[in-house]
Structure 1
Amino acid sequence: MLVKQLTVGMMGVCCYIVSCDQTKEAAVIDPGGDEDRILDYCTSHGLRVTHIINTHGHPDHVCGNGRIQQATGAKIVMHAEDVDYFGDPRIRDYFSSLGLPESPPVDIVVHDGDLITVGQEQLQVIHTPGHTPGGICLYSPPHCFTGDTLFVGAVGRTDFPGGSIRQMIDAIKNRLMPLPPETLVWPGHGYGGSQSTLARELRTNPYLEL
């Protein structure tokens, strides 16, 4: 699996373009703005985007879904709990203050343990609630795309509606830390750095001492 990290949008989201070297099929993870940059990279590398995967439904991570889908015809993928949660008009109204475009309807609803196939590569869905009810990480050894669950030296905020610090820490400790220590952590924002490993986070991340 080939991985390209781009920092996009006004919220500095780490967007990932993951692709199969054999088939040139690709998935865009969390297109949070700067859609032309994302599309230009895909075009210049001859990639065919088949999936747009959202690690969670916050506007800064889904605001590019529509433009990318319009340009590529890719399917939008999100966990079932966030599809339901962000479909609530009260929740949409709460987050509309950011002024970011809403996502088109989700095409593929996933659950914990599901596999998303991109060419000859696969991404395993790991449900990690806490930042949002349906937050997910995406695991394809040695890579783990952790969205706003786990950052370098920090974790995602839990003070938005639907957040829970207890759920987040439990998910990190029980769902992520059992993965191999050399697993690469690709976070949803670059606070503290743009890449780490699970072993490093276990040693140095103060939130994992809770």
Structure 2
Amino acid sequence: MKAYHVVGQAPMYTNTFLLISDAGHGVVIDPAAAASDYNEILEKEGASLTHIFCTHGHFDHVGAAEELKAKWGAKLWCEAADVENSQFFPLKEADSGYEEGEVIQVDEMSFTVWHTPGHTPGSVCLLCENYLFTGDTLFAGSIGRTDLPGGSSRQINDSLRKLAALPIPAEAQVLPGHGELSTFGQELKNNWYIKSACKGALS
């Protein structure tokens, strides 16, 4: 497997990622960059795009989804709750949503999916080996906003407690939708929002 960090367009500079299997099948997570950015890497690697995984449906995470799907015939995954054909949720349709805890296999790459609503109703996190794609649920030292349409501070606290309890390796890289990269162990130890959510569950 090869992994690429592709930064989205200004002014959001969304973190997006392209994984390519040993057999040459590509997976884009949160296609916010220009479609040409992914196409250039895929063509250089002699690979084809087969899967597009959206951690949620906000406009700054899905900008190239439909163009990439049209070019490559890739299957587009996004929760139905985040597919509205609206200003904040521009996707008109998706091929599939996610089942809680399901494992999506792409050659040697296994993606385990958990629902983590709070930033949006359809937010998910995906773990592939030691890569944890958290979208706008979890940032390095912070979390995503809950004051946008569909956001919920109660739900994101529930999602943070859920993440903290999952069998995610401490060394797993946290690959968020925005900002710096981190590790899951660092976030469990230092992220005030996770610590506060877990403490609140015990009080």
TM-score after normalising by structure 1: 0.85
Amino acid of the structure 1 residue aligned with 2:138: L
> What runs of 5+ residues in structure 1 fail to find an aligned partner?
97-101
Which whole-Å CA distance do the structure 1 matches of 2:31 and 2:174 have between them? 18
Which whole-Å CA distance do the structure 2 matches of 1:36 and 1:152 have between them? 28
Q: Which residue of 1 is the match for residue 81 of structure 2?
A: 84
Aligned length: 194
- How far is the alpha carbon of 1:141 from its aligned partner? 2.2
Q: Which residue of 2 is the match for residue 64 of structure 1?
A: 64
CA deviation string 1:128-167 (max 9, x = no partner): 1111111001112211111101111111111011111221
- How far is the alpha carbon of 1:46 from its aligned partner? 1.5
Which aligned runs of 4 or more in structure 1 are off by greater than 3 angstroms? none
Amino acid of the structure 2 residue aligned with 1:142: N
Stretch deviating more after TM superposition (115-124 or 152-161): 115-124
- How far is the alpha carbon of 1:107 from its aligned partner? 0.8
| Residues 18-167 of structure 1 mapped to structure 2, 5 A cutoff | 18-21=19-22, 23-79=23-79, 83-87=80-84, 92-93=86-87, 95=88, 102-167=90-155
Q: What percentage of residue pairs aligned between the two structures are identical? A: 36
State whether residues 24 and 119 of structure 1, in contact with CA within 8 Å, keep that contact through their aligned partners in structure 2: no
TM-score after normalising by structure 2: 0.88
Which whole-Å CA distance do the structure 2 matches of 1:41 and 1:201 have between them? 31
Stretch deviating more after TM superposition (118-127 or 130-139): 118-127
Which residue among 170, 187, 194 is the counterpart of 1:181? Answer: 170
Amino acid of the structure 1 residue aligned with 2:41: Y
Which whole-Å CA distance do the structure 2 matches of 1:176 and 1:12 have between them? 27
Aligned CA distance change for structure 1 residues 201 and 175 (closer, same or farther; 3 Å): closer
